[in-house]
Amino acid sequence: MRAYDIFVKPEMEGHFFNENWFYGAPDRAVHMEGRVSYTPNNLHRAGRDKLVGNKGKLDMFMGTCTPPNAEGMVSLSMGVVVEREMIDAARTVILEVNRNLPWTDGDTVIPISMVDHFVENDSLLVQVPQTEPSETEEQIGRHVAQYIEDGCTVQLGIGGMPTALADFISDRRHLGIHSELLVDGVYKLYESGAVDNSRKTLHPGKFVAVFAIGTQPLYDFMNASPDVLLMRGSYVNDPYVVAKNHKMISINTAIQVDVMGQVCSQSIGTRHFSGTGGQLDTHRGAQMSEGGRGIIALRSTAKNGTISTIVPTLAPGSGVTVPSQDVDTIVTEFGSAELRGLSVRNRMEALIRIAHPDFRESIREESHRLGIVPDKRYF
């Protein structure tokens, strides 16, 4: 997304300090300058935990909204990750009114009486098109698609892989959406006839999400649609709420997975990259769902094929996004590894089978040498 000048202009250093739940490019750009710090969280608790850390105090909330309707209500429009908790706690609430924002229903709708000040600014909406999938992402999408059958409820992320997956499941029918994020790929599935939300066991007939990122066709579809509900993150991403959707399939990505099944999706060693976000929430919730599954999909290599993303141990200092005891299914372009309930030895073998062939033997040998999966040759 677009950076705010207050976070990236050198002359603003000392005036503002950014604490963020999830890093984007602007945060990464100034991280090593000490001008931003990551706040560890799971999305469904992010707002509540932040207020606990602040002793329940918040001086000001600044956000954006649609113009008010005839009933004196405004819509926060593009999402309510933690906005409602922050608005409820803030001493002063300032909202920027933008006529270009789509009206969305759900927890986004608040009365103007909750707002202290309005400022008008009709800036154009940020357009974030889905990236075209690579050949590798298409291969991954094909493997993920085998787990999605008619009537499943799906959680999708952003990037080339969800776009590829949409192509492979466009022939499914009666899919539902319960997702942290609405993206163009979801709208594409709706247009293909794959998604109608008719068999959802929670909020049937509705797209349920926390926020949206996409392009104008998605925003136009969302605008005043009775079929779209944007609900606060503390609800949508609560694992027990996620689990109320039968046949819930959560699909996320990662940076590294080690042979124990630990998943890192937020850092490259000690260098922070993104965040936990809602990954652990939906991964856990999907496994609690009747007939559900949590999927982590990633390329088998990084840096132009020079390093493996399936590793004996995570890089030193890496954040663990999904612990080994919570992991379910890992997918690469070489297939899938269903790890739930497996021993570390069997997990290692399953993950080696979906690692890039160039690294399979070295993963096994290093796992033996380190004693993760002991081999008497080394001890």
Q: Which residues are known catalytic residues? A: 180
Contact between residue 19 and residue 39 where contact means Cβ atoms under 8 Å apart: yes
Please give the C-alpha separations between residue 290 and each of 152, 194, 201, 337, in angstroms, as whole numbers. Answer: 11, 21, 10, 20
Beta strands 310-311; 301-302: pairing state: unpaired
Comparing CA positions, the residue from 4, 180, 159 lying closest to residue 81 is 180
Q: Residue 251 pairs with which residues in a beta bridge?
A: 295
3-state secondary structure of 74: strand
Which stretches within the chain are classed as H helix?
5-8, 25-31, 46-53, 83-89, 135-145, 160-168, 184-192, 216-222, 233-236, 239-242, 279-288, 344-354, 360-369
3-state secondary structure of 245: coil
> How many whole angstroms separate alpha carbon 239 and alpha carbon 258?
24
Task: Determine the Cα angle at 218 with ends 225 and 294, to 5°.
Answer: 95
